[in-house]
Amino acid sequence: MIAKLLISPSLEERVKEIGKILASHIPGGNSNIKNHPDILYFPSDSKLGIEQARKIKEHFSLKPYSARGRGVVLEDASSLTPEAQNALLKILEEPPHEALLILGAPSDNKFLPTILSRCQVVRIQETADSRQEKNFSQDLEKLLKSDIQERFEYIEKLTEREEFFHSLIEYFHQNLSSHLTSGNTDYMDFVKEVLQAEEWAKQNVNIRAILEYLMLVMPAKL
């Protein structure tokens, strides 16, 4: 088995690298490679518990259709519960022939040491373009003036939710001091919500659910 852990705070960079690996693994790989019968693909907002771990095990137990071996991709494996990680560990200890397991994550700090020891850890270098794309300040300014429906539509279409979440945290921390001096209680209350959201993220709460909650409680104007 080839087991890779792709580390990058940018979901887009991880997805690009995943595409390259899959294209080399599957003959004639194309834009529909995520839907290939030999690939089990979990997008970044997927729930990743013991049930999904069982699906992965079942997927690897089947013979490949056209690829060298069956493959599983998790765009954001940091959402894996400890139980699911232990289930994956059993797969890594008894690897299927020619199988491919790709775990993407913003960092490696949520993985069991036993998982890390059995994966090839690849830290993706960010390009200048990807760093520039992660500046969501203008989007946040617009969202502050938007209604709830527009905010939810933005989150639904957003692909780089992890990056947006970290930019949101940084944005409101940077602007905290000016609003403290002005006595803006709405702003200070929302910053408390942001701090709570950080704790939820550490507990592997779904990032989309966190962002939708923040869009709901974000004041219309600050």
Q: Which of 1-5, 77-81, 91-95, 125-129 comes out lowest in average pLDDT?
A: 125-129
Query: How many other CB atoms are found less than 10 A from the CB of residue 163?
Result: 22
Residue 165: name the closest of 186, 191, 134 by CA.
134
For the cut 90, the answer to whether the pLDDT of residue 54 exceeds it is yes
Query: Tokens representing 119?
Result: 């994966």
Q: What is the mean pLDDT of residues 204-209?
A: 86
- The answer to whether 5 touches 14, Cβ cutoff 8 Å, is no
Q: How far apart are CA 147 and CA 93, in angstroms?
A: 50
For the cut 60, the answer to whether the pLDDT of residue 113 exceeds it is yes
- pLDDT of amino acid 131: 46
Class of domain 2-129: alpha beta
For the cut 90, the answer to whether the pLDDT of residue 93 exceeds it is no
Whether the full predicted model's pTM is greater than 0.85, yes or no, is no
- pLDDT of amino acid 31: 55
- The answer to whether 129 touches 12, Cβ cutoff 8 Å, is no
Within 8 A by CB and 6+ apart from 116, the residues are 5, 108
For the cut 60, the answer to whether the pLDDT of residue 211 exceeds it is yes
- pLDDT of amino acid 98: 84
Q: Count each helix (H run) and each strand (E run) in the chain, helices first.
A: 11, 5
Residue type, 131: R
- Average of per-residue pLDDT values in the chain: 84
For the cut 70, the answer to whether the pLDDT of residue 162 exceeds it is yes
- pLDDT of amino acid 202: 77
Q: What are phi and psi of 184, to 5 degrees?
A: -75, 95
**Local confidence band at 183 (pLDDT 50, 70, 90 cut-offs):** low
Per 3-state DSSP, the chain is made up of helix, strand and coil in percentages (nearest 5) of: 55, 10, 35
- pLDDT of amino acid 178: 54
Within 8 A by CB and 6+ apart from 71, the residues are 22, 25, 26, 38, 39, 40, 99, 100, 101, 102
Please list the residues that pair with 123 across neighbouring strands. 7
- The answer to whether 102 touches 16, Cβ cutoff 8 Å, is no
Q: How far apart are CA 55 and CA 61, in angstroms?
A: 10
- pLDDT of amino acid 133: 46
Q: What is the mean pLDDT of residues 173-188?
A: 61
- pLDDT of amino acid 51: 95
For the cut 80, the answer to whether the pLDDT of residue 176 exceeds it is no
- pLDDT of amino acid 153: 94
- pLDDT of amino acid 182: 52
Domain positions in the chain? 2-129, 134-217
Q: How far apart are CA 152 and CA 148, in angstroms?
A: 6
- pLDDT of amino acid 76: 94
